[in-house]
Structure 1
Amino acid sequence: MEWQNDLEHWLEPFLKGLGNKTRRRMCPAYIAGLIGPGDRKSIQPMAARVDAISYDRLHHFIGAGVWDSAPLEATLWQQADDLVGGDNAWLIIDDTALPKKGNASVGVAPQYASALGKNANCQTLVSVTLASGEVPLMLSLRLFLPESWTSNEARMIKAGVPEQFRQARTKPELAIEEIDRIAAAGVRFGCVLADAGYGLSAPFRQALSARGLCWAVGIPKHQKVYPADVKLVFPVAGRGRPRLRHIPDIKSVAAHTMLEGAKWRRVSWRRGTKGRLAARFAAMRVRIADGAPQRIGSAGAQHMPGEEAWLVGEHRSNGERKYYLANLPADTPIKDVAGAIKARWICEQAHQQLKEELGLDHFEGRSWTGLHRHTLMAIMAYAFLQTRRLAQAGRKKKSPRATTSAQPASSPASHH
């Protein structure tokens, strides 16, 4: 099969990092198993479909073999950067849930699964995707450990959680750690995007700004903001000691309240397969109320004004209203602000294809190492298919009459 020859060739730079000969055979076999036909992409059925590969060897390679995934990751990130990296690329933070039975698999617990829209027994992976235009490439999937795990050292040791990953971390904290690793590796991107699950975290937004990164994130409608021209004043004390600290001359209000009087207009951010994509947007400059807390009378805690940013509201055609913050420059056209906000959806296409076609959620092992190696193999398989698809699209552009060769069973479909 032609795609298998392509895969062997594409994997050559990755295999250098694997050292011994058996591992260099197991890696292509595993990835070919994820790409090839068959409903189940767990180790047993994959091994059964390939005569030359024994279940024991494939199982050992993923679950117990002594090899470091860092060189493979470095090669993957380099390939992704070559394909879609640059100032116009997005780095998209999200998470995805892998439903699981029982409670022995690492990180499994009843928790909110955004894809299902409800609580479910699952593992949650924080995902980082590099995307440009219509092309997403997943860079990293990192397991989130809920409190029921981080509070139980013995349970983590049994599942093989490395010591440096045993402290409790929030999903936004994990995301920042991954962004730091990816940026340190030289991957180029222009702006970080995330949904309200991350955007509601002031430490997450502030960590991005502290790193000099552009960001556009969803927020809950009750996120507090100030007008951009808020002033800090020394209040006059009626009696008692004079106030030592200045305070804002106006109270912060919820994002949705701030936009009530704003001008809403129809904005189109790009052309989709069914014509231009558009919705009604309102945007204004604000100061985010995420500075130090201050108490004013009995009105409860107010926060000091933080950095200036765009506050954006979106009215969707189905009546839904969504709210966002973006630290893009003040002279950014609203069309570009909307385009940044809407570019996040491409990562959901990647999640869906990784699950439906590449067996991301079929792994049956229980250990930390096994799970992360399986997810790395799945995102390498995805990167291979995207590379191949782009090469074929390029060939098609050059010679419109050329017929494309047969696609592997799970070639990513173009995004609508």
Structure 2
Amino acid sequence: MARIAGRFGRVEPRASARACLLGLLSQAERKNCWQLAEQAGHIRPGPMQRLLRYARWDADAVRDDVRTYAVDHLGSNGGVLIVDGTGFVKKGRASAGVQRQYTGTAGRIENSQVGVFLAYATSRGRALIDRRLYLPGQSWCSDPERRRAAGIPETVQFATKPRPAWEMIAAALDAVVQAPWVTGDEAYGQDPQLRAALETRGTGYVLAVACSTRVRINQGRTPVRADTVADRLPATAWQRHSAGPGAKGPRYYDWAWIHIGTDNHRHLLVRRNRTSGELAFYLCWSPTSVSLAELVRVAGVRWSVEECFQAAKSQVGLDHYQVRHWTSWHRHITLAMLALVFLAAVAADAAPKRPTHPHRPARSSEPIPLTVPEIRHLLTTVLGPPAVTAARMLHWSIWRRRHQATARLSHYRRRAADETGG
């Protein structure tokens, strides 16, 4: 809280922000305004709702504090910025940016919001450091009344996902985040403008692309599909490298790299699954010469963002919000990111300082380093609220059921009106 306290001009929202962070770090089943208020000992969710909607504070300024916090505790050589999106399945059509769209969270097209995020990963840890709510163009940009109801600023217009990704990357680089590499999946690797912008800034990238991507090899005039290039490779072109440690040990794949274009530092990187033979492709560029092992390391780091999403949703309630407004979404997500980077910083500072071999398991008598879930579990004992009285529990039970009754009556009236045409 010392890092962000100055972002709040009044003591009330500052106290609510502290209570909100403690709630996000607690064992509360659902970390929405109702449960966060109950966890904080409030008699109603009003203070939490005001914090996310009406209180005067700048979520982008707090986002800057989150980014600085991550760099201070996780920063080290070889840092990687990772761009990726995640979905938030929702009901109705009033939430900012919601529509039927594909989300990897559900693995199919769902009524959902999609956030584009930037993660920072180093050998010391990983955390989310920036966020943008994706605004679909078809159903939102041409509907001023709907935009106004959801609080979407007039300056926000439709842009494909690589555009906000680049804005976040540029902001991080301008803030002197030490990250010589950027990586991301096909949604970002297929965008030539994003790749060109990174090259202009002198930032290397390892970006996934589709097998149909065409590249020029041997300075040829005719581009060739990436999968065709891979099929022509001799057996000697493949080398076995680990893409980093996984839950069950090092993640070994077969890798090959092919020089493409006229730039000496531009490559097509191909990954082959040792069991299934499935191929994955990456376009790579670096301002200086690098080794295959370094490109493999950066490609493997991309999965860190998935671990960030999993930890943020399961540990600090990233997707537990029940807000519809543009401002409220960014405020909740920012506070959840702060809670997550706090846990990551504690884990990094608690990690053993002695060197360990990356491929050698620890002795069975040695515990693994403290993890984000374990740290949160320990903190709930230290930071947990005092014992709740039966009267307080009953008060919140009655409050919830009254609001549920109001909502049910509203739904019944709307359904009846639809049936009768009234």
Find 1:342's aligned residue among 300, 305, 309: 300
Tell me the CA shift for residue 116 of structure 1.
2.5
Matches within 5 A, 1:202-213: 202-213=192-203
Residue in structure 2 matched with residue 265 of structure 1 by the alignment: 239
Q: Looking at secondary structure, tell me which structure has more helix per residue.
A: 2
Deviates more, 1:342-351 or 1:381-390: 381-390
Tell me the CA shift for residue 284 of structure 1.
0.7
Residue in structure 2 matched with residue 110 of structure 1 by the alignment: 100
Find 2:315's aligned residue among 357, 380, 402: 357
Find 1:318's aligned residue among 276, 280, 286: 276
Matches within 5 A, 1:13-412: 13-52=3-42, 54-133=44-123, 135-147=125-137, 148-165=139-156, 167-230=157-220, 250-262=221-233, 263-272=237-246, 274-287=248-261, 309-316=266-273, 317-328=275-286, 331-394=289-352, 407-409=375-377
Aligned-residue CA RMSD (Å)? 2.5
AA partner of residue 29 (structure 1): A
Task: Say if 2:217 and 2:260, in contact at 8 Å, map to a contact too.
Answer: yes
Task: Say if 2:343 and 2:375, in contact at 8 Å, map to a contact too.
Answer: no
Percent identity at matched positions? 27
Deviations 1:247-289 (A, max 9, x none): xxx31111111222222232234455644321011111102xx
AA partner of residue 178 (structure 1): M
Task: Say if 2:244 and 2:301, in contact at 8 Å, map to a contact too.
Answer: no
Q: 1:133 to 1:313 in 2, by over 3 A?
A: same
User: Unpaired runs of 5+ in structure 1?
Assistant: 1-10, 231-249, 288-304, 412-416
Task: Say if 1:358 and 1:410, in contact at 8 Å, map to a contact too.
Answer: no
Q: Distance in 2 between matches of 1:95 and 1:125?
A: 5
Aligned to 1:227, what secondary structure does the other structure show? coil
Aligned to 2:231, what secondary structure does the other structure show? coil
Deviates more, 1:69-78 or 1:134-143: 69-78
Q: Distance in 2 between matches of 1:173 and 1:410?
A: 40
Deviations 1:72-105 (A, max 9, x none): 2222111111122344100000000011011110
AA partner of residue 18 (structure 2): P
Aligned to 1:12, what secondary structure does the other structure show? coil
Q: Distance in 2 between matches of 1:32 and 1:367?
A: 23
Aligned to 2:303, what secondary structure does the other structure show? helix
Provide the TM-score with structure 2 as the length reference. 0.80
Aligned to 1:409, what secondary structure does the other structure show? helix
Task: Say if 1:269 and 1:336, in contact at 8 Å, map to a contact too.
Answer: no
Aligned to 1:222, what secondary structure does the other structure show? coil
Task: Say if 1:106 and 1:156, in contact at 8 Å, map to a contact too.
Answer: yes
Aligned to 1:28, what secondary structure does the other structure show? helix
Task: Say if 1:221 and 1:322, in contact at 8 Å, map to a contact too.
Answer: yes
Aligned to 2:241, what secondary structure does the other structure show? strand
AA partner of residue 118 (structure 1): R
Residue in structure 2 matched with residue 292 of structure 1 by the alignment: none
Tell me the CA shift for residue 65 of structure 1.
1.1
Q: Distance in 1 between matches of 2:307 and 2:370?
A: 23
